[in-house]
A and B are shown apart, each in its own frame.
Chain A
Amino acid sequence: KQEVTQIPAALSVPEGENLVLNCSFTDSAIYNLQWFRQDPGKGLTSLLLIQSSQREQTSGRLNASLDKSSGRSTLYIAASQPGDSATYLCAVSPSGSRLTFGEGTQLTVNP
């Protein structure tokens, strides 16, 4: 059974700091990995999708890497802003269908 772990569970940083969120998964037989953002009481917003054959994806200040063999992914956020405050969820898919989520990292960026 696939298990996804995210570290840290919570993170508080001053504005402008670069930060890294970690995601690990137990079964390396994944089809893709996706990072989401969830604001309190809201749905999920897709940030980055990495196919199993890819090693990283970038969008603006966000960069996600994938090391499938070691079962790890990182989300790098550059020059963090208060508007980045949210819960960040990592999810993996074994076959392009169902997703298994981690429990998320709650990020607070202080002005």
Chain B
Amino acid sequence: GAVVSQHPSWVICKSGTSVKIECRSLDFQATTMFWYRQFPKQSLMLMATSNEGSKATYEQGVEKDKFLINHASLTLSTLTVTSAHPEDSSFYICSVLTGGAVSGYTFGSGTRLTVV
């Protein structure tokens, strides 16, 4: 099956700084990647859909200027949390739709972000 690598697995940053999270599709060319956020004891909420070579599509309520998404190649999408604040502390996970709807989704291992 497809392999999705996410880096870093955890990061602690100071309030006001920016953090970049990478999501790589190691063996599949992904024109579309998805970014989710998960708060403790809650389920995953879709933040945005990342499209290779074009602008990302953000869900309602997600600030596009705060959560910058870049999908410059078929194997890499990045999420940058700009001017991070403690309320941005969360678990961020990317996913790739592999092999069409028949194969479903493959998820990265997630990034635990803690803003202090």
Contact = CB atoms under 8 A, between A and B. Distances in A.
B39 to A, nearest CB: 11
Interface in B72-116: 91, 93, 95, 97, 100-110, 112
B43 interface: yes
B49 A93 contact: no
Contacts of A102: 43
Contacts of A96: 97, 100-101
B44 A43 contact: no
Interface stretch (A14-22, A44-52, A61-69, A77-85): A44-52
A96 B91 CA distance: 24
Contact-residue bracket for chain B: 20 to 34
A43 B101 contact: no
Interface string B45-57: 1100100000000
B90 to A, nearest CB: 12
Given A42-B110, A43-B108, A98-B34, A89 B44 contact: yes
Interface of A: 31-32, 34, 36, 41-46, 49, 51, 89, 91, 93, 96-104
**Top 5 closest A-B pairs, CB basis?**
A96-B101, A49-B104, A44-B107, A43-B109, A103-B43
21 contacts: A34-B104, A41-B110, A41-B112, A43-B107, A43-B109, A43-B110, A45-B107, A49-B103, A51-B102, A89-B43, A93-B101, A97-B32, A97-B49, A97-B97, A99-B34, A99-B46, A99-B95, A101-B43, A101-B45, A102-B43, A103-B43
